[in-house]
Chain A
Amino acid sequence: MPLSFLQPTFLYGLAAASAPIIIHLINRRRAVVRRFPTVEFLRLAERRVARRHRLKHWLLLLLRTAAICLLALIMARPVLTGSGALGIAGDPLSLAIVLDNSLSMGYQEARAPRFALATEAAARLLRMLRPDDRAVVIPTDGSGPKPLSAVTLTAGPAQYARSLRQAFEALEAPAPRKQIVLVTDLAWGGWRQFTLAQVERVDPQVPVQLIAVGDPALRANLTAKAVATREGGAYKGVPARLEVTVANFGAAEARDQLVQLYLDGRKADQKAVTVPRASGAGMSQVPGEATASFTVISEQEGVLAGEVRLPPDPLAADNTAYFALQVQGTIRTLVVDGDPGLSLASRETFYLAPALNPERTDDAPILPDVVSIAELPARNLATYQAIILANVGELGGELAQRLRSSVQGGRGLIIFLGDKVNPEGYNQGLYAGAGLLPARLRAIRRVAETTGIEPPRAPHPVLRPFQAAGMEALVSARFAAYVAVEPPADPQVRTVLALRTGDPLLLERRVGAGRVWLFTSTADRDWNDLSIKTAYLPLMQALVREAANRTLPALGATVEVGQPLILRDAATAAGQVARIRTPSGATTLLTLTRGTAEAAAAFTHTTTPGLYRVELPGQSQAYAVNPPFEESQVERLPEQELKRLLAPLPVTLIPYRGPEDLARLQSTQRELWKPLFLLLLLALAAELAFAQRLTK
């Protein structure tokens, strides 16, 4: 236990301890000389009592000296820095202060935010250091050592493992004493994923002191956990339903909490929700959740900057959630009906057209324009985002080239076969000639007992609607006939769906900037019953969206603060420069690099919650960066759990809430004047008793 003195000047008073000895020596020299007759008896007596008396005398001298020493020591105010203290005494100290600047440190305590308390404690620690000590301040945001004044509160998570590793690295240099002090609120969130193995460089000899700021009592804290949409995408003029999940980490129910929705900075709507209290505690705590639903209609294409704001609470930083609502334009689809039939029901597109626009309105996401083969040449293909050929018999060479150039320009072509189709003509015109067909057609194959769809093994964007449910409906469709195809010669041709016979049902081929899909059966009920299955509508819409490259989800990607934004594009986009605009308005340029199958880039400076807009040639995207959800669990980690997580490091926890604990922080250097004063009284009492006995 190192000892130090608050008033070391008084230690000079220890010199006064020699006074009794000097007085003793002077007194010896001043002995009265007396001639006396019975000296022999004196000598005899002196011999008998001398040893005993000398012992008492020296004891008396010792007591007097001790009394003066104790008095000097008391005035010098000795302090003991012990195990419960920060131990800043003794040999030169190498100190690493890991300062928690994660989101939860913004929690407003009675006196000040937790981060202010933590900074105050850290500053106090630094002031306690002596000239021979050295210290480094490491914030938990992972940015590495920096001056205390440069550490600011972030909206990100606490990266304890990374910052502790940096602390151990900073203490690698030889030093008489090393110590790590972690100033934190010990909020549960930051420790959920922590293991000591992540620290990698652990020195078990280095003691770790934890200064826990904030009130350990659990209080209410609401946060917007998630924003989601029911539908796959948001389209211009089409209502989109947003669902906002509000989580409550408090121990009490949060009644009638106002959830406000802002779009492009303007308040769009608000709802009141009652959020039940959290259940459980610590690692097993489950926050109470409630959902607020909003309906959003945008008349413009593009990205809508959305915010969900919750009522103010002690932790303001997690009261706002950001999202990017990506509104896409309607998909104009040219549908060429190759078998108009004699009646409406016998038309090849009888099921297809309603599947694309079920409500037959002009503001639907997909607007099919059904034409006959005769009308096709007159159409301007450039005005459509997708083209569907449904059982179209013959295509002239000129038309095939128009289609090819249209597809190469980025549009999608979907080909349904049927009894009107001449496989050889298709092979000559669209396969060998235009190079559009994914595979060479053979002949119509009729199946006596019908066949079904083989459950798909590989995921595909077209099949995304069936990921959660509906796949059974898809595979339950029965196929009586289809056109068999040769195995694709182009390795880039992908079989999206296959029949149980082993023949492909849906093939995909990339042609230039666009893509071609070949459905080897009919679009109506002539060869199969897919069109009367519930899977028909989502499959057709997904095909059209995929063909039109209008597959963006309603909400842009969301990442948490501190996580990188991964920008992806086609491999051909390698070398293109992405322009990233942060919520603060700053712009960063990032070049996409070529990967194995795509071009990509990572933007890592997601330090501020908000919307990050990314501009690439020909496209615009938006990413929402939100506070880490775990940081909203502000309940303090129990000491036992903490020690378990940090074992075998020697850990000491020091609660710190405010000025009273600041004084306690100082008094970790325990003053010793009280026991010394008691000792002084005892020494004086003993001296008095001895002196009286000796002079009796």
Chain B
Amino acid sequence: MALNYFDPQILAKLESLELRARTVVEGLMAGIHRSRAKGFSSEFEQHREYTPGDDLRHLDWKAYGKFDRYFIKEFQEESNLKCYVLLDCSASMGYRSDGLSKFEYGCYLAACLSYLALRQGDAAALVTFGEGLKRFIPPRAKQGHLREICEELEARRAEGRTNLGRVLQEIAEAVRRRGMVVVISDLLDDRAAVMQGLKLLRFKGNDLLVFPVLDRDELELPFKELTLFRDLEQDVRVTADPRVIREEYLRALQAFIDAYREECRANQIDHVLLNSATPLDKALIQYLAWRA
């Protein structure tokens, strides 16, 4: 049985984040048709041998005359899109029920998205943040840029508080050209401030894709014993029987998610809720569909 490389659990077995990203994206791209946007570039990059299915328009007839073999000319594709991936690195992202934490899942997603963007010739940028900006890796379209992004992701840990609203505002000020902004966060912050930041980015002509990442425990609250819950970021404690409050908790959580979703929809912001246990391809397909 073939391995499902979109499964975060399997991806976690791969050592290099970059390798993981490549594995996911290549696997994904092999299963779908090539984008019309690919190969539209004037800057020659290299030759490669023809394989059935290649576009015959890119056959190098001169090389055929010289070597009696079919070669395909490959060009460095030009990009007019900058993709900013914003990854929440607060302590709440560090929660894990089993398998990957939300942060790890976010890292995979960020790496995959960056690789996907780079592979399509877009410029990829990475922003890690917590209460404020932790690091801003500017957008570049070179393939080697992925390594820098992956190194940052591998070096980063989930810690501290979140202030997503302020971060979004800072990014909005920093982004001078319209681009694509992908927010990977659990969005456990002041919703009004977050939406204000998102709206500001949107106002500046950016396309926004929000990936709220939640753990299965957060989505289901499966605990059965009396529990003293301590917040990961603030000094808040609640002692409760999860069985008793589950229904009310899920209702409150769903209201929270729905409120984000509705506001995003109203502002033409894509909102895709992700469970940290779900395969990454869902997010990537969403990205590609949105990108197309």
Contact assessment for A36 and B252 in the assembled complex, using a CB-CB cutoff below 8 Å: no
A38 lies within 8 A of chain B by Cβ: yes
Docked-complex contact B228 and A37, CB < 8 angstroms: no
Contact of B226 among A31, A37, A43, A45 (CB under 8 A): A31
Surface stretch bound by A, among B25-33, B133-141, B143-151, B236-244: B236-244
Is the CB of B225 closer than 8 A to any CB of chain A? yes
CA–CA, A28 to B227, complex, Å? 9
Closest chain-A Cβ to B171's Cβ sits at a distance in Å of 23
B22 CB, nearest partner CB in chain A, Å: 30
- Min distance, Cβ B75 to any Cβ of chain A, angstroms: 46
- Verify if A30 is at the interface (C-beta below 8 Å from B): yes
Min CB distance B109 to A, Å, is: 18
Q: A41-B252, A46-B238 are in contact. Are A33 and B230 (CB under 8 A)?
A: yes
Contacts of B77 in A (CB 8 A): none
Partner among B230, B234, B247 whose Cβ is within 8 Å of the Cβ of A34: B230
Chain A: CB-nearest residue to B93: A37
Determine whether the beta carbon of A48 is less than 8 Å from that of B248.
Answer: yes
Partner of A39, one of B186, B230, B248, B256: B230
Q: Which residues of chain B come closer than 8 Å to A41, judged between CB atoms?
A: 249, 252-253, 256
Question: Contacts A37-B95, A39-B238, A40-B236 given: A45-B227 contact, CB under 8 Å?
Answer: no
Closest chain A CB from B164 CB (angstroms): 14
Q: Which residues of A contact B229 (CB under 8 A)?
A: 34-36, 39, 42
The answer to whether A36 touches B95, judged by C-beta atoms less than 8 angstroms apart, is yes
Taking CB atoms, residues of chain A closer than 8 Å to B237 are 39
Contact check: which of A31, A37, A53 meets B92 at CB < 8 Å? A37
Contact of B225 among A32, A38, A48 (CB under 8 A): A32
Q: Is B122 an interface residue (CB 8 A)?
A: no
Q: Does B264 have its Cβ within 8 Å of any Cβ on chain A?
A: no
Q: Are A45 and B231 in contact (CB under 8 A)?
A: no
A41 to B240, CA, bound (A): 12
Question: Are the CB atoms of B238 and A42 closer together than 8 Å?
Answer: yes
A458 on interface, CB distance cutoff 8 Å: no
Complex formed: what's the CA distance from A46 to B241 in Å? 9
Instruction: Name the B residues within 8 Å of A44 (CB-CB).
Output: 248-249, 252
CB–CB A32/B244 < 8 A: no
> If the complex has contacts A37-B188, A43-B238, A696-B243, are A31 and B227 also in contact, measured as CB distance less than 8 A?
yes
The 0/1 profile, CB within 8 Å of B marked 1, for residues 93-107 of chain A is 000000000000000
The chain B residue sitting closest to A29, CB to CB, is B226
- In the complex, which residue of chain A has the Cβ closest to the Cβ of B233? A37
Q: Which residues of B contact A40 (CB under 8 A)?
A: 188, 231, 236
A44 to B231, CA, bound (A): 13
Q: Is the CB of B243 within 8 A of A694?
A: yes
Q: Does A695 contact B (CB under 8 A)?
A: yes
- Knowing A41-B249, A42-B245, A43-B236 touch, does A36 contact B226 (C-beta < 8 A)? no
A49 interface hit (Cβ, 8 Å): yes
Chain B residues with Cβ under 8 A from A53's Cβ?
A: 241, 244-245
Asked whether A32 lies within 8 Å of B240 as measured between CB atoms, the reply is no
Interface residue? B207 (CB, 8 A): no
> Does B218 sit at the interface, judged by CB under 8 A?
yes
- Judged by a CB distance under 8 angstroms, whether B223 is at the interface is yes
Q: B215 to A37, Cβ gap below 8 A?
A: yes
Residue of B nearest to A39 (CB): B231
The docked-state distance in angstroms from the alpha carbon of A37 to that of B245 is 16
Identity of the chain A residue whose Cβ is nearest the Cβ of B242 in the assembled complex = A42
CB distance from B258 to the nearest CB of A (A): 13
Q: Is the CB of A38 within 8 A of B188?
A: yes
Contact of B232 with A by CB under 8 A:
yes
Closest chain-A Cβ to B169's Cβ sits at a distance in Å of: 23
Q: Are B95 and A35 in contact (CB under 8 A)?
A: yes
In the complex the two chains form, what is the Cα distance from A35 to B273 in whole Å?
22
Q: Is the CB of A31 within 8 A of B248?
A: no
> CB-CB < 8 A to B249: which residues of A?
38, 41-42, 44-45
A32 to B95 Cα, complex, angstroms: 17
B231 to A37, Cβ gap below 8 A?
yes
A27 within 8 A of B: yes
Give Cα A40 to B238, complex, Å.
Answer: 9
Which residues of chain B from 81 to 109 have a CB within 8 Å of any chain A CB?
Answer: 92-93, 95, 102
Query: Which residues does chain A contribute within 8 Å of B248, judged by CB atoms?
Result: 44-46, 48-49
Whether B226 lies near A38 (C-beta < 8 A) is no
| A45-B249, A49-B248 known; A35+B230 contact, CB < 8 A | yes
In the complex, per-residue mask of A40-78: 1 if CB is within 8 Å of any chain B CB, else 0? 111111101100010000000000000000000000000
Q: Taking the complex as formed, is B170 at the interface, i.e. its CB lies under 8 A from any CB of chain A? A: no
What is the CB-to-nearest-CB distance from A12 to chain B, in angstroms, rounded to a whole number? 31
Question: CB-nearest residue of chain A relative to B234?
Answer: A39
Residue of A40, A41, A53 with most chain B CB atoms under a 10 A cut-off:
A41
With a CB–CB cut-off of 8 A, which chain A residues contact B240? 42, 45-46
Are B230 and A36 in contact, CB atoms less than 8 angstroms apart? yes
Q: How far is the CB of B218 from chain A (nearest CB, A)?
A: 5
Residue B43 interfacial (CB < 8 Å): no
Distance from B157 Cβ to chain A, minimum over Cβ atoms (Å): 15
- Would A31 and B244 count as touching, CB distance under 8 A? no
A48 to B238, CA, bound (A): 13
A694 to B246, CA, bound (A): 11
- Decide if A39 touches B245 in the complex (CB within 8 Å): no
Q: How far is the CA of A34 from the CA of B237 in the complex (A)?
A: 10
- How far does the alpha carbon of A38 sit from the alpha carbon of B218 in the complex, in Å? 7
Known A42-B238, A45-B252; judge A36-B245 contact (CB<8 A): no
Contact check, A31 vs B228: say whether CB atoms are below 8 A apart.
Answer: yes
CA distance A34 to B243 in the complex (A): 15
Alpha-carbon gap, A31 to B243, bound state (A)? 13
Q: Could you say which residues of chain A place their CB within 8 Å of the CB of B173?
A: none
Interface string of A645-665 (1 = CB under 8 A from B): 000000000000000000000
CA distance A49 to B256 in the complex (A): 18
A32 near B226 (CB under 8 angstroms)? yes
Q: Which residue from B186, B238, B243, B251 sits with its C-beta under 8 Å from A37? A: B186
Contact among B226, B230, B236, B252 for A27, CB-based, below 8 A: B226
Task: State the Cβ distance, A234 to closest chain B Cβ, in Å.
Answer: 108
Bound complex: CA of A45 vs CA of B232, how far in Å? 18
Indicate if the CB atoms of B230 and A694 lie closer than 8 Å. Answer: no
User: Shortest CB–CB separation between residue B255 and chain A, in angstroms?
Assistant: 9
In the assembled complex, 9 residue pairs joining A and B whose CB atoms fall closer than 8 Å, in A order, are A32-B225, A34-B230, A45-B248, A45-B251, A49-B247, A49-B248, A694-B241, A695-B243, A696-B243
| Shortest Cβ-Cβ A-B pairs, 7 listed | A45-B248, A37-B92, A45-B249, A39-B231, A45-B245, A31-B226, A41-B252
Task: Kindly list 13 other residue pairs between chains A and B, CB separation below 8 angstroms, not including A31-B225, A45-B249, A46-B245.
Answer: A31-B226, A31-B228, A33-B227, A34-B229, A35-B229, A36-B230, A36-B232, A37-B95, A37-B188, A38-B249, A39-B232, A41-B252, A46-B248
